[in-house]
Amino acid sequence: MTEEKTAKRILVVDDDELLRDFYIKVLKSEGYETEFAANGDEAVDTLKKNPNFALAIIDLLMPIRTGWELIELMKSNDEYKDIPVIALTGLASSFNDFHEVEEICDAVMHKGKFELSEFINTINKTVR
């Protein structure tokens, strides 16, 4: 795998298949290579196989292992801690919860409340 390809790999983690497919379609149209997982455990398996991602887009509320648990695991693991994270949430959380997510993630976006151009711009700014 070339460095250029590695620099453009994005992991999409969301249990909502329609949204996950939408994000992947948008990312591919922007020239990114994508891999996906339907929950945090699948994401951990994917990261173990090849942790070279330029970005992870993670839904916070998922079954099995939540997005928040996945993010905490990633940030505490030397292999994954430098992968930028965009957290996606569909719920209005408390100010303290939201602040905690903002502290640990590179960006936080509310599902259904952002424009496509904002989504793309946030990704392009966050990808390393």
DSSP readout, the chain? --HHHHHTEEEEE-S-HHHHHHHHHHHHHTT-EEEEESSHHHHHHHHHH----SEEEEES--SSS-HHHHHHHHHTSTTTTTS-EEEEESS---HHHHHHHHHHSSEEEETTSS-HHHHHHHHHHH--
* CATH number of 24's domain: 3.40.50.2300
Among the ranges given (52-56, 68-72, 115-119, 123-127), the one the predictor scored with the smallest mean pLDDT: 115-119
pTM of the model: 0.87
Number of domains in the chain: 1
pLDDT class of 95 with cuts at 50, 70, 90: very low
**Range(s) of the domain holding residue 55:** 3-126
